[in-house]
Structure 1
Amino acid sequence: MPVNTTLADEIEFRTGQGSSSKRLLIYFIPGNPGLVEYYRRYLSQLQESLQHRKEEVIIYGASHDGFEFHTPSNRINQGSPPFSLQQEIHCVRSKLSLKARELSTDSQPLDVILIGHSVGAYMLLETISWWQKQPTEQSIYSIKGGICLFPTVVDIAKSDKGRSLWPILAFPGTGYLLSGMASCLNAFWLLDCVTRNLTPGPEGGAVTAAFARSDHGIRQLIYMARDELASIKEDKWHAQDLWGTVHESNGNANGKIFNDERESSTSIATTPGAPRTKLYLLFGKDDYWVNNDSRDNLITARHGGHTTMEVLHNRPEIPHTFSLHPEHSDHVAEKTAAWIATLESE
């Protein structure tokens, strides 16, 4: 089916001081559906919030393999979609490496900050864990921080959505069935109306319609979601290497709870440790893709080192799909920019 030719598979914004010899790459990783167009407003607002930076800032994001609107010219994975979660993680690592090589200079490694939404946050943590073991990559770019937005990084199958959708996702023919339904709706000129009503918030309807018309998008979404529910379980990462936690803790002795005066949201900030990638995790109050008990256990266990975790207790209206709502998208972009400023000042 023909798709909207104005929609892109890659988005890049530049801001800050273009004449500066120093550069900062902010690499954005979408969730599922892995369509970077869903985040255009968020990334644009982030660009505006960072315009006074002293270095040149490159904000870049790309759709995941299999979600492309257009015939891919630089797809990382070989073969035809759908691709697994691990294949998509490989794709993120490879695209990050290529982008960093494009922007880096011989004088010093390129500074990089990763941002991931939903399962993109899981990909972010996997990418940092991989990068920590790659001396060649470290000589080209340095991942200074990772910002995880509404992260689905543990026990996704225990979430409200995970429990309700698993029977549908587990059915082998779901992807083909939904693709066929989209083709029928398109034939009767109903697809735009249906996708507009199915898309949360006032923005993103055109993106959803183009996604439904794409060659592989629906099957890629289903295949990847099934893999997510089967794969994303316990906290699998090294306590010290990734989280920066020197020892396990059952309480909050090494952490501190404070209130954001602007939002009155509960946060847990960790004590400084050895220099390493700093992590920021922003959770919704009752995110339907996150099990609250698993979330709270993660916060309790990983409060040491260089990790800040925040739960938007007093902003329950900000949903998992924040980027499809202008007000919420702008708010999260401002918070992201503030974290970037904090990260750079430490």
Structure 2
Amino acid sequence: MTVQDSIELTHVAPTDSSTESLLVFFITGNPGLIEYYRTFLTLCFDSLRTKYPNHHIKIAGTSLRGFGVQGDKHQNGANDNAQGPYDLEQQIEHIGQMLERAIESHARQGNLTKVILMGHSVGSYILLEVLRRRKQSPTTQQLSNSARVIGGICLFPTVTHIAKSPSGKKFSLFFAIPYFAVAAGFVVRLLFSWIPFTALQTIVGLVTGFPAPAAETTTAFIKSRGSVRQALHLAGHEMRTITTDTWDDELWGISKAQDPNSNKTRLYFYFGTDDHWVANKTRDELIAARAATGKTGDENKPTMEIDTHGTPHGFCIKHNDLVANKAEQYIEELMQNIA
């Protein structure tokens, strides 16, 4: 089995005093297995190392807590699953810690590191919360004094009123049932624990139509201890937590990286059309309230776009190329416009 609990892709440029450093840190959606995004992140990585051969480049990401598939020796392994499930607040704290580790590791060359956060679905909500808390934390500023966050890219973001989305309305009924996540997780283990991994992967591929990598990751998700319960527990907490826009104007329009003299942290949002996890009404309200319009004075507001290709919310299954191209466009804008 090749499914991993973390991804790290690194390009080391020829070292000299002027070598710049870029870290792209990815935050998954729910289910929180980073392996779903390997193809997408590899496409982004190949593009970046071609465009910026003289930069130290790292793309990194980790599974959310409770979704480990690799066993006790890994950060998100079986023991972590057994101690869960973990709610959205705990996931935010975990991702914040993993981001700091990635920054410290990548900044060892001694050069200023540009950091770009990228999140999918609930990972976009986590991204905004991590940005807000880093800005407010003196400890974080001290740990990250050799790096600054220049941008955040939110893909198919679920950042407000997720319970009002088409799928949110349906699943909210199940989450109202006491111990639903526990019972559903138990039933899934009872049904599938006895089926060999390879056989189950074949079944998953046939039933879902997923390509082999996604089918393997889904099989690992089903077979791992506690992951199904974790996904449902987290989803229920998302329904209760992701409601109104509670972030201040500084985060939306004039948020700065950790160095007070640095440029702003620019945000990009890429929404789906008729996304079943994002109600069109709440999406349009957010765009009207927060997006840049091209008018004088709102240059630092987020760029918000709506996909026109019919790309599904779970783009990482079959639509990696298109979304990778969009992410690369945003990264290039950040690299060109922020010194």
Q: Distance in 2 between matches of 1:198 and 1:172?
A: 30
Please name the residue that 1:41 is paired with. Answer: 39
How many residue pairs are counted as aligned between the two chains?
A: 310
Tell me, yes or no, if the aligned pair for 1:83 and 1:223 is still in contact at 8 Å: yes
The structure with the greater share of residues assigned to helix is 2
Mapping of 1:295-314 within 5 angstroms? Answer: 295-303=283-291, 304=298, 305-312=300-307, 314=308
Tell me the equivalent position of 2:100.
97
Q: Aligned partners of 2:302, 2:133: CA distance in 1, in Å?
A: 18
Contact 2:254 2:264 in 1 (8 A): no
For residues 33-182 of structure 1, the aligned pairs below 5 Å read 33-52=31-50, 53=52, 54-72=54-72, 73-74=74-75, 80-105=83-108, 107-134=110-137, 135-182=141-188
Q: CA deviation at 1:101?
A: 0.9
Q: Matched residues, percent identical?
A: 34
Of 184, 192, 195, the residue aligned with 1:185 is 192
Q: Say whether the 8 Å CA contact 1:245–1:302 is kept in structure 2.
A: no
Alpha-carbon deviation of 1:216? 1.4
Equivalent residue number for residue 268 of structure 1? none
Using the alignment, how far apart are the partners of 2:209 and 2:269 within structure 1? 23
CA contact (8 A) 1:200 1:321 kept: no
Partner of 2:258: none
Report the Cα offset of residue 23 of structure 1: 1.3
Q: Is the 8 A contact 1:114 1:146 kept in 2?
A: yes
Between 300-309 and 105-114, report the one with greater CA deviation.
105-114
5+ unaligned residues in a row in structure 1: which ranges? Answer: 247-273
Secondary structure in structure 1 of the residue aligned to 2:123: helix
| 1:65–1:91 Cα contact (<8 Å) kept | yes
Once the 2 structures are TM-superposed, how far is the Cα of residue 166 of structure 1 from its aligned partner? 1.0
**C-alpha distance in 2, partners of 1:337/1:243?**
22
- Would the aligned equivalents of 2:205 and 2:215 in 1 still touch at CA under 8 Å? yes
Q: Does 1:285 align with 2:273?
A: yes
User: What residue ranges of structure 2 are gaps of 5+ in the alignment?
Assistant: 256-261, 292-297
Shift of 1:194: 4.8
Aligned position for 1:267:
none
Pairwise CA distance, 1:111: 1.3
CA contact (8 A) 1:154 1:294 kept: yes
Gap change, CA 1:173 and 1:193, over 3 Å in 2 = farther
SS of the counterpart of 2:91? helix
Aligned to 1:344: 335
Shift of 1:47: 1.1
SS at match of 2:251: coil
- Tell me how far 1:200 sits from its aligned partner: 6.3
Q: Name the residue aligned to 1:323.
A: 316
**Contact in 2 for aligned 1:131/1:137 (Cα 8 Å):** no
How far the C-alpha of 1:179 sits from its partner, in A, is 2.7
SS at match of 1:187: coil
Q: Residue 147 of structure 1 aligns to a residue in which SS?
A: strand
Separation in 2, partners of 1:42, 1:83:
26
In the aligned structure 2, how far is the partner of 1:149 from the partner of 1:27? 13
| Native 8 Å contact 1:200 1:324 kept in 2 | no
Amino acid aligned to 2:330: W
Deviations 1:150-180 (A, max 9, x none): 0000000000000011111232333333333
- Tell me, what secondary structure is at the counterpart of 1:177? helix
Q: Conserved in 2, the CA contact under 8 Å of 1:179 and 1:212?
A: no
Aligned position for 1:264: none
Please give the alpha-carbon distance, in whole angstroms, between the structure 2 residues aligned to 1:115 and 1:283: 14
Partner of 1:211: 221
Task: Determine the C-alpha separation between the residues in 2 that align with 1:79 and 1:340.
Answer: 38
RMSD (Å) for aligned C-alpha atoms: 2.3
TM-score by length of 1: 0.83
Normalised by the length of structure 2, the TM-score is: 0.85
Q: Distance in 2 between matches of 1:38 and 1:213?
A: 15
Deviation at 1:199, TM superposition (A): 4.2
